[in-house]
Amino acid sequence: MVKEKKPLRIGLCGAGIGGLAAAIALQRAGAQVTVLEAAPELGEIGAGIQMTPNVSRLLIQWGVADVIGDNLVEFEELNMRKMDGTKVGYTKMMPDMRRDLGFPWWVVHRAHLHEGLVKVAEKEGARLLINSRVTSISYQSSPHVTVTTSSGATHTFELLIGSDGVNSIVRRTLFPYVKPTPPTSNCAYRAIVPYEQVRQDPVARELAEKLTMEVWMSEGSYIITYPISKGKDLNLVLAHHVPDNRLVDQVEDVSIEELRETYKDYDLRIKTVVDMIESVQRWPLLVTSLPSWSSASKNIVLIGDAAHSMTNHMAQGAATSMEDGAFLGRCISSVISGHITLADAVSIYETERMPKAHFKQQLSFLNGAIWQLPDGPAQEARDAAMKPELERRLFLRSSNLYGDPKTVLGVYGYDAGRHADEAIFQFLRGRRRGDWRVGRGIEKETYDDVMGLFMPEGRKGGARGGED
């Protein structure tokens, strides 16, 4: 009699965007997935989120895009402006992004994205358990991991994935001494204003004539706006430095006067929209740096903000979480087909994904600095580097990283599934030869290359860790 193979039990701690994406990828790979979520109901708070082509490809592949439908909004163009409204940079989004990368650059309300991910995760067969806050994790005394939840229930898995965000209990269990920190006093407000309200205002209505993304750059602050919810709402992310340069590590309530004061000197059109915001909270921008993403015995691994929270300036936090899930899904598929062990899968994931996430953390920080430069030589060099795209001339590089060809290909053109397949292939080939190489070392080169673009002569290479 043929003995039936036991399914591989994988537990996810956290049903955020990263946890749900991983649930879909892992369930598709053939694992038996249980997602433990602390909240009493499934959902996402907050406003809009960008789903750049590196992850719109996943939403399409997994069928999530079909579920979300028109709530995934594609916009025509990106305008980069100074705070007085002067246009300094430009990226044609539609149809160019789809044509160049094969996938759209979408913007969406977080609630719509989350709902789409939940529906598909459930359809794929993942078990989603709410009211299940993980309170303790036992993983050293056996190859399996047993977690206990706040209700006293226990669950045992071959692999536990920490997808529980920036305050992750899974990360704190593995690395109790690590604390996510804000690199500077830079924080963000998030807000939504109905397009109808913008259209009715004689000054602001010009901003609602077509569906665009606008970035308004100033010293120490910026505003980015884009449409969400079938183009009915305008989403705003407003970066700023806390007045006393305090380091903020928790969400804070802020008076509406403080918000208005920060943006009072911006172009009247966008200032008018900011004045329509009724209430806001200040979101910290925390960065997590870890020496490893897994337990020594490779039965626990981290994804998403739990592993690599980053500043928001490249719109890659959630996107990177989703890539993690897609990558792990391919590795787990190779475990289930018997080509590699679970420990191999976790090692391949960490080896390949850690430099990628680290690079995006650096790049996001850098883009925040680019968008918040004080007027002067560096800002002039930034604007000069964007000029060819504004004049619709051919260009090879730009300090507008949302349109810079090399960054676009490397970040927004990245295919996590393909990367995983290549890494597994290299691993299997290397194992035969006994020379599997750890790390690839291309990221620093790309970072320095981008840095060199906008820094004035004499300061090149000097902005790493500089003021954001």
Ligand X SMILES: Cc1cc2nc3c(=O)[nH]c(=O)nc-3n(C[C@H](O)[C@H](O)[C@H](O)COP(=O)(O)OP(=O)(O)OC[C@H]3O[C@@H](n4cnc5c(N)ncnc54)[C@H](O)[C@@H]3O)c2cc1C
Partnered with residue 32 across adjacent β-strands are: 9
Residue 233 and residue 242 in contact, taking contact as beta carbons nearer than 8 Å: no
383: left (phi over 0), alpha (psi -120 to 50) or beta: alpha
Residue whose structure tokens are 């970035």: 215
User: Applying CB under 6 A, which part among 172-180, 318-326, 379-387, 412-420 lies near ligand X?
Assistant: 318-326
Instruction: Tell me the C-alpha to C-alpha distance, in Å, between residue 96 and each of 77, 104, 230, 311.
Output: 10, 9, 21, 27
Q: Which of 89, 304, 368, 410 binds ligand X (CB under 6 A)?
A: 304
Single out the segment in contact with ligand X by CB under 6 A; choices: 34-42, 93-101, 255-263, 348-356: 34-42
The DSSP call for residue 434 is T
Distance separating alpha carbons of residues 79 and 278, to the nearest angstrom: 26
Tokens 């993983």: give the residue. 139
DSSP string across 334-392? HHHTTSS-HHHHHHHHHHHHHHHHHHHHHHHHHHHHHHTPPTTHHHHHHHHHHHHHHTT
CA distances from 217 to 81, 263, 276, 286 (A): 6, 11, 20, 21
Burial of 320 per CB tally in 10 Å (0-12, 13-18, 19+): buried
CB 376, min distance to ligand X, A: 27
Nearer to ligand X, 314 or 455 (CB): 314
Q: Residues 19, 163: contact at Cβ < 8 Å?
A: yes
> What phi and psi, each to the nearest 5 degrees, are found at residue 241?
-100, 140
Q: Interaction with ligand X in 97-136: which residues (CB under 6 A)? A: 133-134
Least distance (Å) from ligand X to the CB of residue 17? 5
Interface size with ligand X, residues (CB under 6 A): 32
Residue 407: count other Cβ atoms within 10 Å of its Cβ: 23
Among 8, 23, 33, 37, binds ligand X (CB under 6 A): 37
Minimal distance in Å, beta carbon 374 to ligand X? 22
Interacting span for ligand X (CB under 6 A) from 35-43, 206-214, 417-425, 450-458 = 35-43
Q: Which of residues 257-296 bind ligand X (CB under 6 A)?
A: 283
Nearer to ligand X, 14 or 379 (CB): 14
Q: Which residue, 254 or 381, is less far from ligand X as judged by CB? A: 254
DSSP label at residue 210: S
| CA distance linking residue 300 with residue 27, whole number of Å | 18
Nearer to ligand X, 304 or 368 (CB): 304
**Of 386-445, which residues contact ligand X (CB under 6 A)?**
none
Residue 81 pairs in a beta bridge with: 87, 216
> Nearest to ligand X by Cβ — which residue?
16
Q: Segment contacting ligand X (CB under 6 A): 174-182, 272-280, 315-323, 372-380?
A: 315-323
Instruction: Give the interface segment with ligand X, choosing from 11-19, 209-217, 268-276, 441-449 (CB under 6 A).
Output: 11-19
Question: Binder to ligand X among 318, 331, 348, 385 (CB under 6 A)?
Answer: 318
Here's the x/- map for ligand X, 179-198, by CB under 6 A: it reads as ---------x-x--------
| Residue corresponding to tokens 């190859």 | 143
Report the DSSP pairing between strands 159-162 and 9-13.
parallel
- Residue span binding ligand X (CB under 6 A) among the ranges 151-159, 311-319, 379-387, 457-465: 311-319
By C-beta, is 224 or 378 nearer to ligand X? 224
Q: Does residue 329 bind ligand X (CB under 6 A)?
A: no
The residue within the footprint of ligand X, chosen from 33, 80, 128, 237 (CB under 6 A), is 237
Q: Which is nearer to ligand X, 277 or 315 (CB)?
A: 315
- Which residues 136-165 are close enough to bind ligand X by CB under 6 A? 163-165
User: Is there binding between residue 50 and ligand X (CB under 6 A)?
Assistant: yes
The identity of residue 352, as a single letter, is E
Is the distance from CB of 108 to CB of 47 less than 8 angstroms?
Answer: no
- Interface with ligand X (CB under 6 A), residue from 101, 193, 228, 315: 315
Residue 107 in tokens = 């913007």
Q: Work out whether 334 is an interface residue with ligand X (CB under 6 A).
A: no
Nearer to ligand X, 316 or 333 (CB): 316
Among 38, 108, 121, 160, binds ligand X (CB under 6 A): 38
Q: What are the CA-CA distances from residue 318 to residues 67, 111, 163 (Å)?
A: 19, 13, 11
Site for ligand X, rule CB under 6 A = 13-19, 36-39, 49-50, 133-134, 163-165, 169, 188, 190, 237, 283, 304-305, 312, 315-319, 321
